[in-house]
Chains A and B, each alone.
Chain A
């Protein structure tokens, strides 16, 4: 039961970046298209789950004075693994996401979950927490990407959905479009949450 709760909270109650307003750098930078957001989310989820599990396993061994250094070592290693895997097997997406893959190391969602959750809870719950938050992040990025791609290019996931007469609203796939989209979603979500 608790396993389920730890998992499900990442999908709405604490969904990053909408509820926990963390990890905004990749959120704003890579969501020009749905597929980009999805792959960024998947890469982050992998790192988050692995680092949560490992840090939870090591939580009694790591001295608290050097815990951040230890967490960063663990996180950075998983990020490099993801980077090498993406380079080897999905190179086109590596080209698109480029610098944002190594930057997952400093994504505060991951260090945040390590410090706030994995360091205090068991392996199983940390796994659920990482998976939930990671999938929440993936959904959020994919949704934001889909929205921006729909209005900015007229397609979703590369497939044209708008009629051919639709004039692409190019503002949406530029950086300011990301801010506006994110702001509107944040506003709508707190409106829904108030009821």
Chain B
């Protein structure tokens, strides 16, 4: 009996102590981790799809509430400015793909009223097949797309060439971009007014 109590007490104390230590370290590292993830994952994607900007995207990013009722959600919008003038906005949308969620950062040029580009931020599809959707040959097809079209693969009656052997990944990119187009089409004015 005494043995059992000792075991329970010792294990509980160790668990509580390690738990407390971990939450303390987590508090310290949360900020640097968020900054590192932004710097290494999001920023390269944003740089490649936005026109040259001179503001800090981390400091200027805003949360915008969109949709109503059940579909209401908050999205993060990155505004690209040059000399204080808003040039473009970027937002990230997700679609489920072959190996899990696929994230696409979609840039929208406000003056041209067209997409400035799309970049894949996260994906866990097959290397060499699904990951080839990141290559310019595929992803550049989304440049300069206006907001009044719905994108689809050629196999589905649209105008996008799929990556050979990766139609699921290609379709997921189309879906994520379509979502982004929908958000910008319905909420573009609201987003732009909130950025200022």
Contact = CB atoms under 8 A, between A and B. Distances in A.
Interface string B45-66: 0000000000000000000000
B76 interface: no
A88 B11 contact: no
A87 B7 contact: no
B10 A63 contact: yes
Contact of A63 (B3, B21, B37, B39): B3
B39 A70 contact: no
A66 B7 contact: yes
Given A85-B29, A87-B33, A77 B21 contact: yes
B11 A80 contact: no
A76 B15 CA distance: 11
A62 B25 CA distance: 25
Given A61-B10, A63-B10, A69-B11, A87 B22 contact: no
A74 B18 contact: yes
B196 interface: no
Contacts of A80: 22, 25
A165 interface: no
A77 B16 CA distance: 11
A63 B6 contact: yes
A77 B14 CA distance: 10
A66 B33 contact: no
A77 B22 contact: yes
A81 B32 contact: no
B80 to A, nearest CB: 23
Interface stretch (A89-97, A104-112, A135-143, A176-184): A89-97
A89 B40 CA distance: 12
Q: How large is the interface on B (under 10, 10 to 19, 20 to 34, 35 or more residues)?
A: 10 to 19
Q: Is the interface of B mostly helix, strand, loop or mixed?
A: helix
Given A73-B18, A84-B25, A88-B29, A66 B10 contact: yes
Given A63-B3, A73-B14, A74-B14, A88 B36 contact: yes
Interface in B1-44: 3, 6-7, 10-11, 14-15, 18, 21-22, 25-26, 29, 32-33, 36-37, 39-40
Given A87-B33, A87-B36, A91-B40, A65 B7 contact: yes
Contacts of B29: 84-85, 87-88
A58 B15 CA distance: 13
Given A65-B3, A85-B29, 17 more contacts: A62-B10, A62-B14, A63-B6, A63-B7, A63-B10, A70-B11, A73-B11, A73-B15, A74-B14, A81-B25, A84-B25, A84-B33, A87-B29, A87-B33, A87-B37, A88-B32, A88-B36
27 contacts: A62-B10, A62-B14, A63-B10, A65-B7, A66-B7, A66-B10, A66-B11, A70-B10, A70-B11, A73-B14, A73-B15, A74-B14, A74-B18, A77-B18, A77-B21, A84-B25, A85-B29, A87-B29, A87-B36, A88-B29, A88-B32, A88-B33, A89-B36, A91-B37, A91-B40, A92-B40, A95-B40
Interface of B: 3, 6-7, 10-11, 14-15, 18, 21-22, 25-26, 29, 32-33, 36-37, 39-40
Interface of A: 58, 61-63, 65-66, 69-70, 73-74, 76-77, 80-81, 84-85, 87-89, 91-92, 95
